[in-house]
Amino acid sequence: MENSARHSPRSTRRNASSGAAPRSRVAFEAADVIVTPEYFEVAGRRWPTSELAGLRTVRGPFDQLTVRAVAASGVSLLAIFAALSFGNGLQALGPAAFVVMGAAAFVPMLLGVVGNRTRPRVYELWGDYQGMTVRLFVSDSERQYGQISRALVRAQEIAKLGGVRAPVSSINPYGM
């Protein structure tokens, strides 16, 4: 038994003036993002889907905490090696010195790993619009970015096919 609500199209928008005919099929809709075959809207800024070209993904810069932690780790390791090379070597050091050296080397590395996990690089969607390269969308969630970029590609394909609701490959020519 098929649940019609579950298998119906995700969402359709109705024309506010007539209230009758759906204007377009919404490929993706979230709080501030709407993707249809006619337009791509992010936070109130709207681009016609058919006029967007050269879509590409760019990763944003690393978080500054992560960069500084890795730099501090490298500097501390260099300082440790320099101190050991000019001193009497490892034989003259006590156990407390080994603990301090380990902490000096690995605590900044740990901070870098934690910083990279908790504050990941952002995903940016860039494209060409009317001869200019513009940033269309930014997200730090890989899942949300993937959903929106795939929805935009699907919307462009639907627009190019003239509004076909289902992919041509899903049409059964034999009527079975």
pLDDT tens digit at each of 176 positions of the chain: 333 333 333 444 434 444 433 445 777 777 789 999 899 999 889 999 989 999 999 998 888 878 888 888 888 888 877 777 776 666 667 788 778 877 877 887 788 888 888 888 899 999 999 999 999 999 988 999 999 999 999 998 888 877 655 555 666 667 55
What pLDDT score was predicted for residue 13?
41
Question: Could you give the count of Cα atoms lying within 13 Å of 157 in the half-sphere of its Cβ?
Answer: 11
What pLDDT score was predicted for residue 20?
37
Let me know: does 116 contact 69? Beta carbons within 8 Å. no
pTM: 0.60
Map out the domains of the chain as residue ranges: 4-60+139-170, 64-118
Q: How far is CA 23 from the centre of its chain?
A: 29
Let me know: does 23 contact 87? Beta carbons within 8 Å. no
What pLDDT score was predicted for residue 19?
41
- DSSP one-letter string for the chain: ---HHHHS-S-EEEPTTTSSSEEEE-SEE-SSEEE-SSEEEETTEEEEGGGEEEEEEEE-PPPHHHHHHHHHHHHHHHHHHHHHHHSS-GGG--HHHHHHHHHHHHHHHHHHHHHHHHSPPPEEEEEEETTEEEEEEEES-HHHHHHHHHHHHHHHHHHHTTS-SS-GGG--TT--
